[in-house]
């Protein structure tokens, strides 16, 4: 092998190194989703923002179990702003990254979905912890009257108070983080919206509302880079758990109709929000008000950067 041949090979190695350093031909990017517009999303990585393109072949999964051997598959609908992802694929000639496989973290996914549900679970937990602290404080006051004989009980209650205080601080931090993520949806303009009403304990869409959804889908078809936000609600009748499940069923019914009858692509639809009796549209003290609260709100959103807003 002569010196000329060695120089050529060395030059090739240096060129490959430069391409890798600048992300050319990279087969993996990792970071947090900053924005989502239909089949395109922006991922904030350690090397800057990367535009990731989804298609029908894109696979979304979560590696669980020992060594990640237990793989759970997801639809593209879980890819929402604030979710951490690892994307495998390849770059195209325009510098965009075509996603082949997207791996999410189950815990981080649950947190992001709580954002879509209006932070309701986290807010409930904070409220429960506040009540628990108040209960322990009253118990502590009662034991202080017998401090001479109940020193051990007092110490136990003080420890419980400290633990609950720590939980409240943790939940407050989580609420703040989730609020910041939820506020990212303010980067979208509402181009069209519809409200679907339901009967008591029902998730069946009426014929009138089916027509409303068809018109909404026709509007969406004429837009570029749109996404669809779907949130289900219930009135205050029944338990909170029942209402949350009912609101989820209603949201899924609307999504199913949009996909099945209106040919709306699944990757255009953001993960549905099950709001339960949270954020009522009217008072729950009257029959008319409760009828207003048994609803699903559907919005067609376009990123302001795309719409020029």
Please compute the mean of the pLDDT values over residues 301-308 and round it to a whole number: 78
Q: How is domain 187-307 classified at the CATH fold level?
A: 60s Ribosomal Protein L30; Chain: A; (3.30.1330)
Strand order in the sheet with 273-274: 188-197, 295-303, 226-232, 273-274
Q: What is the pLDDT of residue 117?
A: 59
| Residue 155, Cβ density class (10 Å: 0-12 exposed, 13-18 middle, ≥19 buried) | exposed
Q: Which CATH superfamily is domain 3-111 in?
A: Nucleic acid-binding proteins (2.40.50.140)
- Per-residue confidence at 264, pLDDT binned at 50, 70, 90? very high
Listed residue (18, 15, 21, 24) closest to 95, CA to CA: 24
Q: Roughly how many angstroms between the first and final C-alpha of the chain, as a whole number? A: 62
- Strands, E, within 23-69: which ranges? 28-37, 40-45, 48-53, 59-64
- Domain coordinates in residue numbering, the chain: 3-111, 116-183, 187-307
More confident residue, 79 or 168: 79
Residue 191 clears pLDDT 80, i.e. is over it: yes
Give residue 71's pLDDT. Answer: 73
- By C-alpha distance, which of 93, 51, 271, 298 is closest to 196? 298
Residue 55 has pLDDT above 60, yes or no: yes
134-143, 189-198, 254-263, 282-291: the lowest-pLDDT one: 134-143
Place of tokens 């998730």: 203
Task: Return d(Cα 25, Cα 85) in angstroms, integer.
Answer: 19
56: which DSSP letter? T
Q: Which pLDDT band holds residue 181 (cuts at 50, 70, 90)?
A: very low
């Amino acid at each position: 092998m002569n010196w000329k041949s060695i120089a050529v090979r060395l030059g090739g190695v240096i060129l490959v190194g430069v391409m890798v350093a600048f992300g050319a031909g990279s087969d993996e990017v990792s970071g947090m989703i900053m924005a989502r517009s239909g089949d395109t999303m922006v991922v904030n990585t350690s090397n800057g923002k990367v535009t990731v393109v989804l298609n029908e072949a894109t696979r979304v999964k979560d590696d669980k179990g020992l060594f990640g051997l237990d793989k759970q598959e997801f639809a593209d609908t879980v890819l929402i702003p604030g979710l951490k992802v690892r994307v495998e694929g390849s770059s195209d000639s325009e510098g965009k990254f075509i996603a082949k496989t997207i791996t999410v973290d189950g815990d981080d996914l649950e947190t992001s979905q709580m954002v879509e549900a209006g932070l309701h679970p986290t807010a409930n937990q904070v409220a429960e912890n506040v009540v628990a602290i108040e209960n322990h404080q009253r118990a502590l006051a009662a034991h202080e009257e017998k401090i001479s004989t109940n020193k051990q009980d007092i110490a136990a209650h003080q420890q419980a108070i400290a633990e609950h205080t720590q939980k409240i601080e943790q939940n407050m931090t989580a609420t703040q983080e989730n609020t910041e993520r939820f506020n990212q949806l303010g980067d979208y303009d509402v181009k069209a919206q519809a409200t679907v009403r339901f009967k008591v304990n029902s998730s069946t869409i009426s014929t009138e509302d089916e027509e409303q959804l068809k018109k909404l889908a026709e509007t969406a078809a004429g837009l570029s880079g749109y996404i669809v936000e779907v949130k289900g609600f219930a009135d205050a009748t029944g338990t909170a758990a029942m209402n949350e499940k009912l609101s989820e069923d209603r949201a899924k019914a609307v999504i199913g109709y949009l996909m099945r009858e209106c040919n709306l692509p699944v990757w255009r639809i953001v993960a549905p929000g099950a709001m339960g009796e949270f954020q009522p549209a009217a008072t729950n003290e009257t029959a008319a008000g409760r009828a207003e609260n048994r609803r699903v709100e559907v919005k067609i959103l376009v990123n302001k950067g795309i719409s020029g807003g």
